[in-house]
Structure 1
Amino acid sequence: MPNHPENREITGRTRVLGILAHPTEHVKAPPAINRIAAERGKDAVMVPFDVAPEELAKVVEALRQIKSLDASIVTVPHKQSIVALCDELTPQARAVNAVNILRFEPDGRLIGGQLDGIGFVEGLRSAGVDPAGMRVFLAGAGGAASAVAFALADAGISHITLSNRSRHKIENLRDRLRKFRSDLSVSLGSGDAGGHDLVINGTTLGMKPEDPLPLDVATLHAGMVVAEVIMEPEMTPLLRAAQAASCRIHHGRHMLQHQLQLMADFMGL
């Protein structure tokens, strides 16, 4: 049988991969992971698992019992709450305190990993944007935003301004970043993105039409790179406003595209 996704059949030997989300309509990984599985000659298929936050612990415990389940991607809104459900974390996941990928080991252990930030930075670099030395404004302090912050710190940015509706979350992220890289300049801001080279929306604001903007778009100006972690819709209100302000825009899909191969490796494909 030709090794193409459209020609593959699910059999009793097919290994199962999941993606935990709520809702699942926005997820982009399954078709790409299924293509990678086919390219690598692996009999595996990824399917979406729509799990409400209050049911996550029960679902994860049930998933541990499925012998044909090898791994799962984890996305909004579960990246931080799933940390406590893992038996072991990779160093990246431990530093960020968020997980975006799980591996179910044969001995029953659940290993949590974190590839969001690495994927984001590699996406920037592939588009010709080197974050080294940049002044960064980051909206958000959740799982994706924290992962991006640590990866940018590791990539050599000179300063990061953290902005979030919840003050204690950015204070906590600031303290963890300073421990991670003692020479990094970190400040807490509001919605004013002025004076920065790279402006990032690390929140979920923009996924729904009624969402408020994650920052004051009046402070955007030409010369900035404005980036999203949101993948659906591709053109968020923030990116449209940035484009109108003559900023360079960077879509959320780049983050996923550059971590898919890493995810496949982690899942054992």
Structure 2
Amino acid sequence: MREFGLIGRTLRHSFSQTYFSQKFDSLGLADHQYGLFELSSIQEFPDLIAQHPNLYGLNVTIPYKEKVWPFLSEVAPSAARVGAVNTIEFTADGRLVGHNTDMIGFRDSLRNWLPAGFQGRALVLGSGGGSKAVEVALRDLGIGYWVVSRNPLGQGLTYDDLTPEVLQEHTLIVNTTPLGTVPDVHECPPIPYEALTSQHFLYDLIYNPRETEFMKRGQAIGAQAKNGFEMLCIQAEEAWKIWNR
């Protein structure tokens, strides 16, 4: 049996197991399975590896994209560049190599969605591992941005800094926080939604629910909105390539 899976603290919202299980079925891979491994602490990671000797690959989600780093043998350039790991490769010689496919997933999904020649700036809500992948993707696409968090370190904005004028100058807003994820679907980032316009684009990395409160509030004013499902699919396919090369 070839085993794959996802590690995180709370995984009831995840679609990864369904995605890969359906992929295995479509490819006729009866000896492949994908599990969900909830860890209350990243210190449980070594025990998980010891208990599952048939692991061939793992995905990593909140809050361990950065915390898993010390437990890896090495990190690939993609993870080093982002500063976060969302995919772990188990090599034939027993090494654990961290990769980041979130950046590719977000970059390609955003490029598919934004109008050609988009010239706006972006606000990145949140400063965790997902935010770091978004930042790298925005730099690749030549889109300037500010990171927004409750307690920014160094350069950045707080939510209190988000005046209507700031929102007018930043027409792309990316939510990388977990606010609004199932089951807490009525939560959303604390931005001045009334300052949004039909010229704004709201991208939410969350994909469950399909339409978050963040998206709903933007759409109510005429903004365009997109969830993270396409990003999930793209990054998953990139992870699959890594696990099978």
Q: TM-score, normalised by structure 2?
A: 0.88
**CA distance, structure 2, for counterparts of residue 130 and residue 76 of structure 1:** 32
Stretch of structure 1 that moved more, 253-262 or 237-246: 253-262
Aligned to 1:163: 148
Aligned to 1:191: 162
Say whether residues 1:66 and 2:37 are aligned partners: no
Code of the residue aligned with 2:65 in structure 1: it is K
Q: What secondary structure, in the 3-state scheme, does the structure 2 residue paired with 1:119 have?
A: helix
How big is the shift at 1:132?
5.8
Q: What secondary structure, in the 3-state scheme, does the structure 2 residue paired with 1:200 have?
A: strand
Say whether residues 1:145 and 2:151 are aligned partners: no
Say whether residues 1:32 and 2:19 are aligned partners: yes
**CA distance, structure 2, for counterparts of residue 150 and residue 223 of structure 1:** 24
Deviations 1:231-260 (A, max 9, x none): 122221111110011000111212102222
Code of the residue aligned with 2:179 in structure 1: it is L
Aligned to 1:11: none
Q: Say if 1:165 and 1:103 are closer, same or farther in 2 by CA, change over 3 A.
A: same
Which aligned pairs between 1:40-189 and structure 2 lie closer than 5 A?
A: 40-42=27-29, 43-52=31-40, 54=41, 56-64=42-50, 66-129=52-115, 133-157=119-143, 159-168=144-153, 171=154, 188=157
Aligned to 2:178: 204
**CA distance, structure 2, for counterparts of residue 59 and residue 131 of structure 1:** 44
Q: Say if 1:82 and 1:201 are closer, same or farther in 2 by CA, change over 3 A.
A: same
Aligned to 1:6: none
How big is the shift at 1:211?
3.5
Deviations 1:21-47 (A, max 9, x none): 221111111121223334444431111
**CA distance, structure 2, for counterparts of residue 98 and residue 238 of structure 1:** 25
Aligned to 1:217: 193
* 1:222 and 1:246 in contact (8 A); partners too: yes
Q: TM-score, normalised by structure 1?
A: 0.80
Q: What secondary structure, in the 3-state scheme, does the structure 2 residue paired with 1:260 have?
A: helix
Aligned length: 237
How big is the shift at 1:122?
1.2
* 2:148 and 2:157 in contact (8 A); partners too: yes
How big is the shift at 1:191?
3.1
Deviations 1:137-184 (A, max 9, x none): 111110001101111111221x1121111211xx3xx5xxxxxxxxxx
**CA distance, structure 2, for counterparts of residue 132 and residue 268 of structure 1:** 36
Deviations 1:43-76 (A, max 9, x none): 3111111111x2x223334415633111111111
Aligned to 1:3: none
How big is the shift at 1:129?
4.1
Which aligned pairs between 1:15-26 and structure 2 lie closer than 5 A?
A: 15-26=2-13
Q: Which runs of 5+ in 1 are unaligned?
A: 1-13, 175-186
* 1:191 and 1:214 in contact (8 A); partners too: no
Q: What secondary structure, in the 3-state scheme, does the structure 2 residue paired with 1:151 have?
A: helix
Q: Say if 1:247 and 1:95 are closer, same or farther in 2 by CA, change over 3 A.
A: same
Q: What secondary structure, in the 3-state scheme, does the structure 2 residue paired with 1:167 have?
A: coil
* 2:89 and 2:243 in contact (8 A); partners too: yes
Aligned-pair identity (%): 26
Q: Say if 1:108 and 1:64 are closer, same or farther in 2 by CA, change over 3 A.
A: farther
Q: Which runs of 5+ in 2 are unaligned?
A: none
